[in-house]
Amino acid sequence: MIVNADFALKAVINTQDINWEPSPIPGVERKYLDRVGEEVAIASTVVKYAANSSFTSHVHGGGEEILVLDGVFSDEFGDYPAGSYLRNPPKSSHTPFSKQGCTLFVKLRHFHPEDLETVRINTNTAAWHPGTVPGLSVMPLHEFDGVGTALVKWAPDTIFNPHVHPGGEEIFVIKGVFHDEYDSYSTGTWIRSPRYSKHAPFTKSEGALIYVKTGHLDNPIQQ
């Protein structure tokens, strides 16, 4: 399956506007954002577990990154409420399920092969740090080999400086409305901007909370 597989192109999807697709497991549905491959794929996906659904035990050959958007996600190692950020490194395995149902933002098979850290962060209780402009707060989630992942909280009417992303940038809007000179991006919108893309982002009265990953589009297929 090929979905938004040209990483040199900008891609924008409002996930509220696309349909759920069935997975091989009853009770688990997906919305494809980008994908290179079939069930074993480099992929960015929104995944929904119905209440009392489970996925088969599996190994993450290239790692798995999860942000729990709503509900409670679980596996044999613990329960992860909305706001949980998880990283399962290459060659790790688990058997996921959800008792009450949940929605996840998931990225597969994009880890550096030497990035072997297991990460569990409850972003509801982790510390925020001041950003580089007034109104901006940052929660670092992970950093490895020039690839950074964070949550960024924008107060209403915050303006950021125009800037360039040499290694590309990926954003998922968790809450509110995020803006730049090109468009406005409401809750549930996914944006992938290629290497050396530039923009001047800002918020209006709603403010925004976004997931941001930078530096990972230098060589995405080989990772």
Q: CATH number for the domain including 22?
A: 2.60.120.10
Summarize pLDDT for 110-127 with one digit per residue, the tens. 888 899 999 999 999 999
Task: Look up the domain containing 28 and give its range.
Answer: 18-122
Tell me the torsion sign for CA atoms 131, 212, 57, 20: positive
For residue 222, what pLDDT is reported? 40
In a domain, residue 95? The reply is: yes
pLDDT of residue 1: 83
d(CA 56, CA 93): 10
pLDDT at position 40: 63
- Count Cβ atoms below 10 Å from residue 181 Cβ, excluding itself: 10
Cβ-count burial 75-87 (b if 16+ within 10 Å, e if not) = beeeebebbbbbb
pLDDT of 140: 98
- Decide if pLDDT at 16 tops 90: yes
Instruction: Give the DSSP H/E element, type plus range, for residue 150.
Output: strand 147-154
- Mean predicted confidence (pLDDT) in 198-219: 94
User: pLDDT tens-digit profile of 147-193?
Assistant: 999 999 999 999 999 999 999 999 999 999 999 999 999 999 999 99
Q: Which of 135, 167, 139 is nearest to 154 (CA)?
A: 135
Q: How many domains does the chain have?
A: 2
Burial class for 68, CB neighbours closer than 10 Å (0-12, 13-18, 19+): buried
| Distance separating alpha carbons of residues 124 and 69, to the nearest angstrom | 12
Flag whether pLDDT at 39 surpasses 90: no
**Given a cut of 80, is residue 223 above it in pLDDT?**
no
Which residues have CB under 8 Å from 219's CB, separation 6+? none
pLDDT at 219 over 70: no
**Is the pLDDT confidence value at 201 over 60?**
yes
**pTM for the whole structure:** 0.95
Domain boundary, last residue among 103, 122, 141: 122
Out of 63, 89, 122, a domain closes at 122
Average pLDDT on 194-210 reads: 97
Which single residue is written with the structure tokens 């960015």? 44
pLDDT of residue 37: 65
Residue 219, in any domain of the structure: no
**221, pLDDT greater than 80:** no
Residues 93 and 145 in one domain: no
